[in-house]
Copies of this chain bind each other. A is one copy, B any other.
Amino acid sequence: MKKKTKYHHGNLADALLRAGVKEARVNGPKNLGVTHLANQVHVSPMAVYRHFPNGESLKAGISQQAREELARYMLKALGQETDVKKRFLTIGRSYIEFGLSEPGLFSVAFLDCDSLPNDEDDPSSRSIFHDAILDLSNEGLIEHSDIEQVAAFAWSLVHGYVTLTSAESLSPAMPKPEAVNELLERGWLAITKFRK
C-alpha cells in the first residue's frame, strides 16, 4: 500500500479491478467508469486503455471479479461438509448471505455487461450449484433428467429472494433472518419430492 510514485505502476490492470471491486462494494454499479477509477488509482484516464480496450470491458472485468468473490464465499461456507442435503442447503444459504451482506457487489456481479466467458477453472456460483445437483442425482434424490430444472428452480429461488429483499423500497415485508431456513427447506422439499 505504500505510495511508491514510480512511473510504471507495476500491475495497473489488477489495481483497477481492485479499485472497481472496492467501489462496487460501497456504491454498487455507479462509479465504475474509466475516469473515476483512473482517479482512484492515481493514474491518468488514458493509462486504462493500455490494459482494457474500453470502459465496458473494464466494467465486465469487475463484474467477473464480483462473481468470483461470491463463488469463493460459497465454497468457503461449504467447507468439508459431506452430507448431501446439508451441502445443498449451505449453498443456498451462503448465496443469500453473500447477497444480503454485500448488496453492491452482488448487483455488480449480475450486471448485464459483455462478460468474458468464464475461465474454465475459475469457481462460479453456477458451477457450484450444478455440481451439488449432480450429487443429488448420484444419490438418487432427484431424477437425472431433472438436473437442469432443479438448477433453474434452486437458483431462481435464492436469487429472487436476494434481489427482492435488497430492494428495500419495494418489499417492505420480505421476512429476513430466520425466514431463510424455512425458505430453503421449502425449496428442498420441492426439489426432492417432486415427480412429474
- For the complex formed, measure the closest distance between the CB of A104 and the CB atoms of chain B, giving whole angstroms: 11
Residues from chain B with a CB closer than 8 A to the CB of A115 are 169-170
The SS class assigned to the A binding surface is helix
Copies in the complex: 2
Residues from chain B with a CB closer than 8 A to the CB of A159 are 160, 163-164
B193 in contact with A189 (CB, 8 Å): yes
Asked whether any CB of chain B lies closer than 8 Å to the CB of A144, the reply is no
Question: Which of B148, B155, B170, B186 touches A153 (beta carbons < 8 Å)?
Answer: B186
Give the contacts of A117-141 with B (CB-CB under 8 A).
126
A99-119, CB under 8 A of B: which get 1 and which 0?
000000000001011110000
Asked whether any CB of chain B lies closer than 8 Å to the CB of A48, the reply is no
Asked whether any CB of chain B lies closer than 8 Å to the CB of A47, the reply is no
Give the contacts of A151-196 with B (CB-CB under 8 A).
151-153, 155-161, 163-164, 166-167, 169-171, 173-175, 179, 182-183, 185-187, 189-191, 193-194, 196
Residues from chain B with a CB closer than 8 A to the CB of A160 are 155-161, 163
Q: A153-B157, A153-B186 are in contact. List 11 more A-B contacts (CB 8 A).
A: A115-B170, A149-B183, A152-B161, A152-B174, A152-B179, A155-B160, A156-B160, A156-B161, A157-B157, A163-B163, A182-B196
